[in-house]
A and B are shown apart, each in its own frame.
Chain A
Amino acid sequence: MLLKKAKAGALLDAIAAKERLFVPADDRGTSRFVAYGAGVEPRFDLLNTKLPPKDLLFPATETLYRWSRDGADLAIDSAFAETDPFTVFGLRPCDMASVDRLDAVFLTKGYVDEFYQAKREAATFVAATCAHPGRACFCDSIAASPHEAPTADVLLEDAGEEWVVTPQTEKGASAVEAWKPYLEEGDAEPIKAACDLKVDMAAVPEKLKGMFDDPIWSDIGDQCLTCGTCTFVCPTCYCFNIDQDVREDEGKRFRCWDSCMFTDYTAMAGGHNPRASKESRVRQRFMHKLTYFNDRYDMNLCVGCGRCMRDCPAAVDISLIIDRIAASEPAQEKEAMAHA
């Protein structure tokens, strides 16, 4: 099955007619996944959007429950709601890989987050492969591949003028079934691109375990502003805070994105802060991305999308950090040398 890029518009209109559809597009000077509709120009040429698609499943601010008080009686009602089906069309393999990470966090290990689950089940993900990975892209050496997205419901393989359309799940199959009128029979040779930028992750998760006190962290600390940019543009960062909005006789509890880069992230009642220093915070971020997460979910929390490298005000470059870790001698050897 082929989808001519030129004809994609008609298909999008059809999908949008039946459910909410999100496509990569420019948005007032930035770019993100926006609801398709009048005036929206999809940007399938964008490598990846400035803001990741994670807010479609895990909104920046999400109300958990509301309460209202009438004198002595307190009424509490959950803000949970089933979500209508929606389609995310044209996300990149790295972003698809990020959804796998979020799934692991919110749906596995015996804990299921109903708010996330409702959206996840309502979502149909249509991934589009990358014909020309960007200079900051390194997904294929850390988490994914520019030309495949195994967990996507539908895969669109870039073949130049058209996409080769392959359903990969039941949801995908029924979706493609419905797309038929807009698809064409025939074959095309998908472009199997590879990233120029490579990292060697092989030994990194293990090595990191011995690098808690490595000077690398203070070096990164010197460079880093510890702002939250990387965590907010990261498609996999899922840390959140729970806070409340209290009014006179009503209020709501909500969760909202938080960042391990912020000092108040670990601030404790009584004023103690276990991660008061910059280096301890950056260490936590990379340890989490490159080893702690692996221990629990057996995958890297970095998908190599390159967003953090692109937007960091201080040009902190995770690929360079991985290189440096890969190049460092394992802790035991260091100790051995120390003893020698």
Chain B
Amino acid sequence: MPRDNEQTGEFTPKILAFCCNWCTYAGADLAGLNRMNYPADVKVLRVPCSGRVNPQYVLKALQSGCDGVLVCGCHPGDCHYSTGNYYAKRRMMIFKRMVEFAGLSPERFQIRWISGSEAGKFRDTVVEVSEQIRALGPMENDAPSRAAIDAVAGTVASPEADEELFAAAKEAI
């Protein structure tokens, strides 16, 4: 898939949205039913419950080519399985802070509660996240600048080591 739109040459982000089957996925269907229009940057991956979303999926997505990840579930209290999203909430709160601590742009990993009736909210969320990621540009842009690398470099940083680091960083989250 071309990362840049042939016509306009503008960057089209890859955003993966994990949606729980009972609320957000239904909300997304409803958005379709109401013929709401939103950017195609976001693709939905269906899971039974937000409690099924393993942070490993999120990290893997961000490492292997996605520019952003969205995790959506029922509002707390409305979980089809009564408790799944409460666990998801705690996991994601901790994991999000961790990846941001490790230097990920906060916009690239977001969590939202969207019910089966909130088609509008689904649309708005997709629009919002897509705009944020477009503003950030591709994941490569998250890589640190030379200045930042030098600022934290351990002891004497060999240029070669830096090159490696820099190259690696370019393809890393």
* A positions within 8 Å CB-CB of B: 25-29, 34-35, 37-41, 247
Contact = CB atoms under 8 A, between A and B. Distances in A.
B158 A37 contact: yes
Nearest to B161: A27
Contact of B159 (A26, A37, A41, A247): A37
B156 A41 contact: yes
Contacts of B161: 27-28, 34
B153 A34 contact: no
Interface size class of B (residues with CB under 8 A): 10 to 19
Contacts of B159: 35, 37-40
A26 B161 CA distance: 11
A34 B161 CA distance: 8
Interface in B133-155: 153-155
B143 to A, nearest CB: 17
24 contacts: A25-B156, A25-B158, A26-B155, A26-B156, A27-B155, A27-B157, A27-B161, A28-B153, A28-B154, A28-B156, A28-B161, A29-B154, A34-B160, A34-B161, A35-B158, A35-B160, A38-B159, A39-B156, A39-B157, A39-B159, A40-B156, A40-B158, A40-B159, A247-B64
Contacts of A35: 158-160
B107 to A, nearest CB: 25
A28 B160 contact: no
A37 B158 CA distance: 8
Q: Which of B64, B153, B155, B156 has the most CB of A within 10 A?
A: B156
Contacts of B156: 25-28, 39-41
Interface of B: 64, 153-161
B160 A37 contact: yes
Contact of B155 (A29, A37, A38, A247): A29
B153 to A, nearest CB: 6
B158 A39 contact: yes
A35 B159 CA distance: 8
A109 B75 CA distance: 67
A26 B64 CA distance: 32
A267 B156 CA distance: 41
A84 to B, nearest CB: 15
A34 B158 CA distance: 7
Contacts of A38: 159
A310 B146 CA distance: 34
Across the A-B interface, give the 4 residue pairs with the lowest CB-CB distance, nearest first.
A28-B154, A29-B154, A35-B160, A34-B158
Q: Which of A25, A28, A38 has the most CB of B within 10 A?
A: A28
A222 B50 CA distance: 43
Nearest to B64: A247
Contacts of A28: 153-158, 161
A35 B156 CA distance: 13
A131 to B, nearest CB: 24
Contacts of A26: 155-156
Nearest to B152: A28
Contacts of A29: 154-155
Given A28-B153, A28-B154, 11 more contacts: A26-B156, A27-B156, A27-B158, A28-B157, A28-B158, A28-B161, A37-B160, A39-B156, A39-B157, A39-B159, A40-B158
A37 B161 CA distance: 11
A38 B160 CA distance: 10
A135 B161 CA distance: 30
Contacts of A40: 156, 158-159
Contacts of A25: 156, 158
